Copies of this chain bind each other. A is one copy, B any other.
Amino acid sequence: MHVSQVFLCKQKQSQTSKTGKTYYSLKLRDKTGMIDAKIWDLTNAIEHFETNDFVMAEGSVTTFNGALQLRVTRIRRAKKGEYDEAEYMPASSFSAEKMYAELMELKNKVENPHLRRLLDAFFVEDAEFIRSFKSHSAAKSVHHNFLGGLLQHTLRVTQLCYFYCRQYPMLNKDLLLTAAIFHDVGKTRELSDFPDNDYTDEGQLLGHIVIGYEMVKKKIDELGGFPKKLETELLHCILAHQGQLEYGSPKKPSIIEALALYYADDTDAKLEIMIEEFENSNSLDFLGLNRFLGTNIRRTSQEE
């Protein structure tokens, strides 16, 4: 099968064959998935390109060890206009605009003026933050590692928290919704933008919990007039949302909204891990040990 199309080059390695010849081993992505590729002959048809470039490649597809492999005969960097960047990245299956609108509806249920003003400073007034928040992933791998993943995860967590408020009247709705919406904002700086989507230096050394804490704390200081206890409680919710010290939270939940946020976050994260595993596999049998869930998992049967 001959192909000629634009790919995103995710990996490019120079190698030497037994006979001493240099060749390239590539990983190329298009909207349908990833394919291994080889450039065996470095002719004039092989122009310069690097990892994370969009490339226009031509060649034939064969099978090797049971997987498809593209033997590239011609390749060059793709030109703006030849491709739509968004199509080359894994993305949430939900509309970003629709999810954002739902999140804003939940935000608007916050009545406390300090919390509302703080939320608006990020989610209404800060266009650059909004752009970044909408398109970020929520992780490098694990779960929600796609365009819009941060938004989808934040929405699910906030919806869960809103439901908790109906079940447990002791919960302070304004504080919990605000904490839910803010809990992962540090991820906009912990991970770089797509297509890179990798840990930044401050992501590695400080982590999204502390970065998010600092983003919110700084804005509170700028806005001024925040009640001290409320500030401390909101920041505590952000710090404690991983629930356990060994998961990277420097404090365990001491107030009930922090505890509720931890459960909403963990519930969505772990269910999403299973959902993504099953969506990425056609098997109805056990998939083997899942390292995040610590057990062997399988899809539920569909017998009637």
Contact = CB atoms under 8 A, between A and B. Distances in A.
Nearest to A17: B64
Nearest to A210: B250
Contacts of A202: 232
A253 B274 CA distance: 11
A236 interface: yes
Interface of A: 13-16, 18, 20, 62-66, 112, 156, 159-160, 163-164, 167-168, 170, 172, 175, 199, 201-202, 204-207, 209-210, 213-214, 217-218, 221, 227, 229-230, 232-233, 235-236, 239, 245-257, 259-260, 263, 266-267, 270-271, 274-275, 278, 286, 293-301, 303-304
B227 A205 contact: no
Given A159-B167, A255-B300, A271 B275 contact: no
Contacts of A297: 254-255
Copies in the assembly, this chain: 6
Contacts of A201: 229, 232
A197 to B, nearest CB: 16
A246 B245 contact: yes
Contacts of A256: 271, 274-275, 278, 299-300
A286 B254 contact: yes
B251 A300 contact: no
B112 A296 contact: no
